[in-house]
Amino acid sequence: MPHPKERPGPWSRSSRRDFLMKSGGAALALSGAAPLLAACSNSTTTSAASSGGEAVGPGGLPLARPDKRVTLPLWRDPIESGLEPETGGEFVVYNYPAYIYGKLLKDFGKKYGVTVKVAPFDDINSGIAKLASGAISPDVTEMTPDNLDRVVAGKLIMPLNLDYIPNLKKNVWPSLADPFYDGGSNYGVPYTVYSTGIAWRTDRVKEDIEGMSNPWDILWQSQAYKGKVAVLSEPRETIAMALLRKGHTDINTEDPKLIDAAVADLQELYDICNVKVGDLQYETIPEDKAWLNQAWSGDMMSGYFYFLPKPSVGPLLRFWNPGYGKGPIQNDMWSICANTKKPVLAHLFLNYMLDNGVAYSNFVNFNGYQPPLTEINPEHEVSKGVIPETLANCILTADDLGEDSLQEMTLTTTGQQLWQNGYSEFLAGA
């Protein structure tokens, strides 16, 4: 099996079909030709992706898991080292709305003589769809590890030259400087990291959630908080929570029986608490519009930093996550768009966002979602008075990631359909 870097290039002149047919060598060798051929055809089927005994993602590449490292093949050579950054004109950052500190972008633009603009997308899936359609040509894009397979196979992002990004090795947790889902960081660098758990207000929710034998149960015991309970409006997170509650730690399962059972459990929440779905818990909990939510760790940090209606609410906020190997931990990334006209500057932007000062400022002055920097630790942030001790568990450390950590990763196309249909059933409210 040839190493991806040993395959003949350049890839830039080949089509996606060529890429998959000729150059997905590693994937082909690992998983058999059928899924890639299916991916290359104009077949109307959307079924994916498992053959030869090993499942592959929509892009035909092996499925990365915390205990199964994947190195993504290079579809073209990275840019040469030592080039001067491009200057002038616009530099477009493709990202969730309000997910990066505007001042930092201005500073970057000033430093390199460009006007930095943010092109927002609603969610990563619609963002990728728009990117793939060619309707937008940003320079860098926010990305998630579970989507790497398809954006690499679709040639939407370009390989990185890490010579331009020294901050990756210097400042970032080792597990994310060379992550299992992108061995060698061929296509992206981490941006933020967060865990999934439960957020609540202690003036409204009286139970000792952290002391419960299975804290996820609180959502199924929340009759008293009817109308004030919500789960995330994310198919993966919502169903994964129901799986974890029942002790199933394979949150990338494609077993229809497990998914069906998880959906049935979620449907119990209609009668228990008339559960809501939404991703505004960083705002609704501090503002007392919601009392008990499935939430990301970054939400309570944002809520504490920016959405307290009065300071006295701060000490009321709490967050619980299951901890290493028991609950989801995710990270977002930055990647460089394949069509950028400013590839060198794009590399420098990735490096800039991993600068200790810049990343920390983005965290505490705007975003609330922490960067995976080795210099950030909960004790330090509490002692500095940045966050209260009651929210110290919102800050993660390098020890929260490892081979046993639970991360929602790429599914086969069939698996994605299964999860989406399950969530659709939950959302139907019947």
Partner 1 sequence: MYPRWLWPTFAAPGVIWLILLFLVPFYAVIGVAFGSVDPILGFAVPAWNPANWNTGWVTQVLGELAPGGIYWDVAVRTIEYVVISLAGCALIGYPVAYYIARHAGRTKTLLLILLILPFWISYLMRMLAWVNLLAPDGYVNRFLIWSHVLTSPYGFLDGQSSTVIWALIYGYIPYFILPLYASLDRIDRSYLEAARDLGASPFRAFLHITLPLSKTGLLGGAVLIALPMFGDYYTPNIVSGAPTTSMIGNQIDLYFHGGPQPTIGAAITIILSAFLLILMGYYLWTIHKATKELRSI
Q: Note the residues at the interface with partner 1 (CB under 8 A).
A: 16, 20, 38-39, 41-46, 48, 58-60, 122-126, 128-129, 132-133, 150-151, 153-154, 156, 226-228, 230, 235, 270, 274-278, 288-289, 413, 416-417, 420-421, 423-430
Beta strand spans in 112-223 (E): 115-120, 140-143, 189-201
DSSP track, 293-318? EEEEHHHHHHHHHH--SSGGGGGGEE
Per the structure block, which two tokens stand in for 153?
């196979």
Cβ of residue 411: shortest distance to partner 1, in angstroms? 9
* Nearer residue to partner 1 within complex by CB, 45 or 312: 45
Asked if residue 407 lies in contact with residue 326, where contact means CB atoms within 8 angstroms, the answer is: no
In angstroms, the Cα distances linking 142 to 155, 183, 203, 340, 353 are 15, 18, 37, 14, 12
The pair phi, psi for residue 229, each rounded to 5°, is -120, 135
DSSP H helical segments within 34-93, as ranges?
34-40
Cβ of residue 128: shortest distance to partner 1, in angstroms? 7
Cβ of residue 110: shortest distance to partner 1, in angstroms? 34
Cα–Cα nearest to 236, from 254, 219, 218, 220: 254
- Burial code of 218-233, b = ≥16 C-beta within 10 A, e = fewer? bbbebeebeebbbbbb
Cβ of residue 21: shortest distance to partner 1, in angstroms? 13
Return the amino acid letter for 9. Answer: G
- CA 336, CA 91: separation in Å to the nearest integer? 12
According to DSSP, the residues that pair with 55 across neighbouring strands are 50
* Nearer residue to partner 1 within complex by CB, 38 or 376: 38
* Nearer residue to partner 1 within complex by CB, 144 or 302: 144
Cis amide bond preceding 120, omega within 30: no
Cis amide bond preceding 132, omega within 30: no
* Nearer residue to partner 1 within complex by CB, 168 or 263: 263
Asked if residue 305 lies in contact with residue 368, where contact means CB atoms within 8 angstroms, the answer is: yes
* Nearer residue to partner 1 within complex by CB, 231 or 401: 231
How far is CA 339 from its chain centroid? 22
Q: Are strands 329-336 and 276-277 parallel, antiparallel or unpaired?
A: unpaired
Asked if residue 219 lies in contact with residue 229, where contact means CB atoms within 8 angstroms, the answer is: yes
* Nearer residue to partner 1 within complex by CB, 208 or 268: 268
* Nearer residue to partner 1 within complex by CB, 107 or 260: 260
Cβ of residue 278: shortest distance to partner 1, in angstroms? 5
Cβ of residue 415: shortest distance to partner 1, in angstroms? 9
How far is CA 213 from its chain centroid? 28
Cβ of residue 307: shortest distance to partner 1, in angstroms? 14
* Nearer residue to partner 1 within complex by CB, 166 or 429: 429
* Nearer residue to partner 1 within complex by CB, 228 or 347: 228
Cβ of residue 234: shortest distance to partner 1, in angstroms? 10
Cβ of residue 382: shortest distance to partner 1, in angstroms? 31
Q: 3-class DSSP state for residue 44? A: coil
DSSP H helical segments within 113-234, as ranges?
124-133, 148-153, 166-171, 174-177
* Nearer residue to partner 1 within complex by CB, 207 or 260: 260
Cβ of residue 25: shortest distance to partner 1, in angstroms? 17
* Nearer residue to partner 1 within complex by CB, 126 or 214: 126
Cα–Cα nearest to 399, from 329, 332, 302, 334: 329
Cβ of residue 288: shortest distance to partner 1, in angstroms? 7
